[in-house]
């Protein structure tokens, strides 16, 4: 196996004229935590292999090695939850229930907050949409949201009375627009993302919570992107509901969570009708239980919940200053580097964003489809990132990117070299063009005549026969 080599940082800086001061980025020289798959070798279309540079944490982050080790430890005890008197069942039940407390602690939850395990953020927000207080059988108030939201925090609200607001050019003006809308009255819930999955910009959730409360509404924060990158304290920030996903939080084992005030949840429509969600069931009627079980019908995902809880413990042990410094070093290095490449544009929602950004950078390359650039970076450089519209179609349209853009995202397992390689790959694209032919297959750009070997257990790898069609989501 040959391994492609990449210019060392100094060489890269000299070649690019970037002149970036290494000391500013030293915090990102190494990963902050061990993750699985960190040394995967990706086969290159041009021959040889390269260490897979995972710049797609925002879609799904790799598992923390500690999470994976923990799962191996508890797996032998895996058994039914809430349904057995056996030793393993008791242990599994204890792990599952204990996971609620761990997650509640992680988000600074109030002692009486519900912690409901779901599949993911989408599931959590759909659950909450079924729990809005009713009047005459209809939700009593409206849900208010911005046009920058991920579809998970947009589509569930389209099924209930709702109002949307187009974000303004600055964060400050956007908050003013929300205030105006709240002041008109009738809003029961403000649904807002903690950080944009498109650009990484962080929303001022504490200020928004107090604004919502000022006008008698509650707030739900979609923390799918925020929770893996920033400490959150819902009691201190007075956030009513918080939703996030394990697979973006280094625990890719199928669990998500909704944490928040119990009253709405205990009165709401049971999210999954089935075993465990009832006090008593008759042939044609039912008495639903309260508490998390009301919404967790069926056998729960104990390993997913345990993995999610373990990941939160690992994050809670990080030194926040070191954590944020690591991520910000990669982010600023990348943004500065991208801005120096002719034809590359970095996209933001808010001018002069002053509330910080998580490890997500959005950009496009003039003259190239985003999907083609992503295919090139993967095939010729072993770099994984996301292209498309990021399940945020209204925002992409408003930003003038109806065909999509590119998103590099990173986290605990990332290192500066990942960003260096992305910049080097883009610079090469601008200077020398593509090094291979690419075609559109099943809606996605792929290298032509791709004869690379993939593991036998992944037979439908894109570019090989039978690949599933993809959309530009
Ligand atoms: N909200 C945001 C901000 C996201 O980035 C995502 C996923 O990308 C979601 C919600 C949906 O998360 P999931 O697919 O885990 O339900």
Pocket test for ligand 1, best of 59, 117, 122 (most atoms within 8 A of CB): 122
Tell me the mean pLDDT in the region 326-353: 96
| pTM, 2 dp | 0.94
pLDDT single digits (tens) 396-432? 999 999 999 999 999 999 999 999 999 999 999 999 9
CA of 182 from ligand 1 middle (Å) equals: 25
Q: Inform me whether the pLDDT recorded for 469 exceeds 70.
A: no
Residue among 457, 470, 464 nearest 45 (CA): 464
**Ligand 1 contact via 409 beta carbon (within 6 Å):** no
Q: How many Å lie between the centroid of ligand 1 and the Cα of residue 31? A: 24
Q: Residue 116: what pLDDT?
A: 98
197 pocket-lining for ligand 1 (C-beta < 6 Å): yes
Q: Average the pLDDT over each of 8-22, 56-70, 151-165, 250-264 and give the range with the smallest value.
A: 8-22
**Sign of torsion over alpha carbons 304, 307, 309, 315:** negative
pLDDT value at residue 84: 85
What confidence category does residue 21 fall into, taking pLDDT thresholds of 50, 70 and 90?
A: low
Does the structural domain 66-316 have CATH classification 3.40.640.10? yes
Model confidence at 3, pLDDT cuts 50, 70, 90, reads very low
pLDDT at 353: 67
> Ligand 1, residues 121, 146, 241: which to mutate, most atoms within 8 A of Cβ?
121
CB of residue 222 inside a 6 A radius of ligand 1: yes
Mean pLDDT for the stretch of residues 121-129 = 98
- Alpha-carbon span 402 to 393, nearest angstrom: 8
- Answer yes or no: are the C-beta atoms of 197 and 386 closer than 8 Å: no
Q: Does domain 9-55+319-447 have CATH number 3.40.50.2300?
A: no
Q: Would you say the CB of residue 92 lies under 6 angstroms from ligand 1?
A: no
Closest CA to 445 of 411, 406, 415: 406
Tell me, what's the pLDDT at 377? 98
**Rounded to whole angstroms, how far apart are CA atoms 289 and 164?**
34
Indicate whether 4 pLDDT > 60. no
152 lines ligand 1 (CB under 6 A): yes
Measured in Å, how far apart are the chain's first and last C-alpha atoms? 35
Distance 393 CA to ligand 1 centre (A): 14
How does residue 123 score in pLDDT terms, banded at 50, 70 and 90? very high
pLDDT score at 22: 74
Q: Tokens at residue 325, please?
A: 């410094």
The answer to whether residue 354 scores a pLDDT higher than 80 is no
Structural domain boundaries of the chain? Answer: 9-55+319-447, 66-316
* Tens-digit pLDDT profile for residues 204-261: 999 999 999 999 999 999 999 999 999 999 999 999 999 999 999 999 999 999 999 9
Reported as half-sphere exposure (CB side, CA atoms, 13 A), residue 289 has a value of 17
Ligand 1: does its nearest atom lie under 6 Å from the Cβ of 153? yes
Find the mean pLDDT for residues 138-150: 97
Give the confidence band of 472 by pLDDT, cuts at 50, 70, 90: low
Q: Residue 16 pLDDT more than 70?
A: no
Say yes or no: CB of residue 387 within 6 Å of ligand 1.
Answer: no
pLDDT tens digits, 65-98: 999 999 999 999 999 999 889 999 999 999 999 9
Q: What mean pLDDT is predicted for residues 139-150?
A: 97
**pLDDT for res 9:** 42
More confident of the two residues 12 and 439: 439
pLDDT at 463 > cutoff 70: no
- Tell me the per-residue pLDDT of 381-390, one tens digit each, with 9 for 90 and over: 999 999 999 9
Question: 307 near 74, Cβ under 8 Å?
Answer: no
282-303 pLDDT tens trace: 999 999 999 999 999 999 999 9
In three state form, how does the secondary structure of the chain look? CCECCCCCHHHHHHHHCCCCCHHHHHHHCCCCCCECCCCCEEECCCCCEEECEECECCCCCCCEHHHHHHHHHHHHHCCCCCCCCCHHHHHHHHHHHHHHHHHHHHCCCCCCCEEEEECCHHHHHHHHHCCCCEECCEECCEEEEECCCCHHHCCHHHHCCEEEECCCCCHHHHHHHHHHHHHCCCEEEEEEECECCCCCEECCHHHHHHHHHHCCCEEEEECCCCCCCCCCCHHHHCCCEEEEEHHHCCCCCCCEEEEECHHHHHHCCCCCCCCCCEEEECCCCEEECCCHHHHCCCCCCHHHHHHHHHHHHHHHHCCHHHHHHHHHHHHHHHHHHHHCCCCEEEECCCCCCCCCECCEEEEEECCCCHHHHHHHHHHHHCEECEEECCCCHHHHHHCCCCCCEEEEECCCCCCHHHHHHHHHHHHHHHHHCCCCCEEEECCEEEECCCCCCCCCCCCCCCCCCCCCCCCCC
Q: How far is the CA of 29 from the centre of ligand 1 (A)?
A: 29
């Amino acid at each position: 196996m040959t391994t492609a080599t990449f210019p060392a940082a100094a060489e890269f800086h000299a070649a690019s004229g970037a002149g970036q001061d290494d000391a500013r980025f030293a915090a990102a020289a190494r990963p902050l935590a061990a993750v699985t798959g960190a040394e995967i070798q990706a086969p290159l279309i041009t021959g040889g292999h390269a260490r897979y540079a995972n710049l797609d944490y925002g879609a799904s982050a790799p598992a923390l090695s500690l999470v994976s080790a923990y799962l191996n430890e508890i797996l032998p005890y895996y058994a039914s939850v809430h349904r057995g008197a056996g030793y393993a069942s008791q242990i599994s039940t204890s792990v599952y229930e204990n996971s609620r407390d761990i997650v509640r602690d992680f988000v600074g939850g109030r002692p009486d907050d519900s912690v409901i395990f779901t599949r993911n953020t989408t599931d959590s927000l759909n659950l909450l949409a079924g729990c809005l207080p009713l009047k005459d059988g209809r939700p009593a108030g409206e849900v208010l949201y911005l046009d920058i939201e991920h579809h998970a925090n947009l589509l569930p609200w389209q099924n209930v009375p709702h109002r949307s607001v187009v974000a303004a050019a600055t964060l400050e003006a956007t908050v003013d627009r929300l205030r105006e809308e709240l002041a008109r009255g009738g809003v029961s819930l403000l649904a807002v993302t903690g950080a944009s999955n498109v650009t990484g910009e962080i929303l001022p959730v504490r200020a928004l919570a107090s604004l919502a409360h000022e006008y008698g509404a509650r707030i739900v924060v979609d923390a799918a992107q925020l929770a893996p990158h920033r400490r959150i304290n819902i009691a201190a920030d007075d956030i009513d509901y918080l939703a996030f996903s394990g697979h973006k939080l280094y625990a890719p084992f199928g669990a998500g969570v909704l944490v928040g005030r119990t009253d709405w949840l205990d009165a709401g429509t049971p999210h999954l009708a089935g075993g465990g969600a009832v006090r008593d069931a008759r042939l044609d009627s039912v008495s639903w239980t309260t508490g998390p079980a009301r919404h967790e019908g069926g056998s729960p995902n104990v390993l997913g919940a345990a993995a999610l809880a373990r990941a939160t413990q690992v994050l809670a042990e990080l030194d926040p200053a070191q954590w944020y410094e690591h991520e910000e070093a990669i982010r600023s290095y990348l943004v500065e580097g991208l801005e120096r490449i002719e034809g590359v544009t970095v996209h933001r929602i808010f001018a002069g964003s002053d509330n910080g950004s998580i490890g997500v950078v959005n950009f496009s390359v003039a003259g190239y489809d985003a999907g083609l650039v992503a295919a090139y970076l993967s095939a010729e450089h072993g770099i994984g990132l996301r292209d498309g519209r990021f399940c945020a179609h209204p925002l992409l349209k408003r930003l003038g990117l109806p065909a999509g853009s590119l998103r590099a995202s990173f986290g605990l397992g990332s290192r500066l070299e990942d960003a260096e390689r992305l910049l080097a790959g883009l610079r090469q694209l601008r200077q020398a063009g593509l090094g291979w032919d690419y075609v559109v297959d099943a809606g996605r750009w792929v290298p032509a005549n791709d004869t690379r070997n993939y593991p036998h257990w992944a037979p439908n790898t894109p570019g090989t026969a039978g690949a599933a069609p993809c959309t530009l989501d």
